[in-house]
Structure 1
Amino acid sequence: MRKLFVGLAALLMLVVVAQFYFAASGAFSTAPNEESFRPHRALGYVIFFLPVLMAIVGALARMPGRLIGMAGLVAGLAIVQVLVAVLAKAFNDTGDTTTTAGQLVFGLHAVNGLAIVAVSGNVLRRARVLAGSAVTGRRAGAGDDAEVPGAAAGTAQPAS
């Protein structure tokens, strides 16, 4: 189950990187906005549902609560993405063509996207450490990858 979680975390990271690609291709497209940002918008739903699935798999795999919570945080940040887009559009609908309030608010969409990249990368990194620790018998989260006492080849550790 932990390897499944790692696979989902890697898939999430790939989807998030693809999301930036689709945002850039939509921004430089000559097609109307509705059409040019369609792939970006569709992938946004995946970025919401994939971390929800990860949280469920993580709970079933008995992953640490912090890691499950970080997966849930990605889903929450995806919701914030939608809210920022709706709020920016509301500011642009005032009819005043000289206002840049909508543009300023929409800039938060990119900043929040960077937060999604950071949290997704952190989830992937931590999940890989945990999955690797289950296989090698090493203590997860140890900065020096210290061995778990008595875990390697059934050897007993001397008492201190």
Structure 2
Amino acid sequence: MRKLFAGLAALLMLAVVAQFYFAASGAFSTAPNDEAFRPHRALGYVIFLLPVLMVIVAALARMPGRLFGMTGLVAGLTVVQVVIAVLARAFNDTGDTSTTAGQLIFGLHAVNGLAILAVTGNVVRQARALSRPAATGRPGAVGSGTALPGPAAGTAQPAS
């Protein structure tokens, strides 16, 4: 189950990186905004649903609470993305042709996207670490039952 979670985390990271690509391609497209940003908008739904699925998998796999919370945070930050976009559109409808408050608010969309990228990177890193098998089978590994070379704990060494 932990390997499944790590695989979903890697898929989420791929989706977040692709989201930045679709945002840039939409921004530089000559098509109307609704059409240019369609892939970006569609992938946004995936970026919301995937962490929700991951939270369920994390609960079943009994992942640590911090990882569980960070995964939920990605879904929450995705909701914030939608709120930022709606607020920006609402402030853009004032009719002012200079730099509008909507444009300034919409800048937070990119900043929040970077936060999503950072949290997702943390989730991927921790999920990969937890999905690796324990290192207890190697000789000399801590907890393997094999004594490490050197004096036993609590014994005095002769002075040189």
Q: TM-score range by the shorter chain?
A: 0.7 to 0.9
User: TM-score normalized by structure 2?
Assistant: 0.86
Q: Is the 8 A contact 1:12 1:120 kept in 2?
A: yes
The structure whose RCO (Cα within 8 Å, separation 6+) is larger is: 2
Deviation above 3 Å: which 4+ runs of structure 1?
Answer: 154-160
Structure 1: runs of 5+ lacking an equivalent: 139-145
Measure, in 1, the Cα distance between the counterparts of 2:142 and 2:74.
Answer: 31
Measure, in 2, the Cα distance between the counterparts of 1:34 and 1:86.
Answer: 14
Structure 2: runs of 5+ lacking an equivalent: 155-160
Q: How big is the shift at 1:147? A: 4.5
> Which residue does the alignment assign to 1:116?
116
Cα deviation per residue 1:100-124 (whole Å; 9 max; x = unaligned)?
A: 2110000000000000000000000
Q: How does 1:69-148 map to 2 (within 5 A)?
A: 69-132=69-132, 135-137=133-135, 147-148=141-142
Bigger Rg, which one: 2
> Which residue does the alignment assign to 2:157?
none
Cα deviation per residue 1:71-96 (whole Å; 9 max; x = unaligned)?
A: 00000000000000000000001122
Measure, in 2, the Cα distance between the counterparts of 1:148 and 1:70.
Answer: 29
What value does the CA root-mean-square deviation take over the aligned residues?
A: 1.8
> Which residue does the alignment assign to 1:2?
2
- Percent identical pairs in the alignment equals 77
Local SS of the residue matching 1:97: coil
Q: Is the 8 A contact 1:149 1:156 kept in 2?
A: no
User: TM-score normalized by structure 1?
Assistant: 0.86
> Which residue does the alignment assign to 1:63?
63
Q: How big is the shift at 1:99? A: 4.3
Q: How big is the shift at 1:149? A: 1.6
Q: How does 1:12-27 map to 2 (within 5 A)?
A: 12-27=12-27
Cα–Cα, structure 1 residues 55 and 156, in superposed 2: closer, same or farther, change >3 Å? Answer: farther
Q: Is the 8 A contact 1:55 1:72 kept in 2?
A: yes
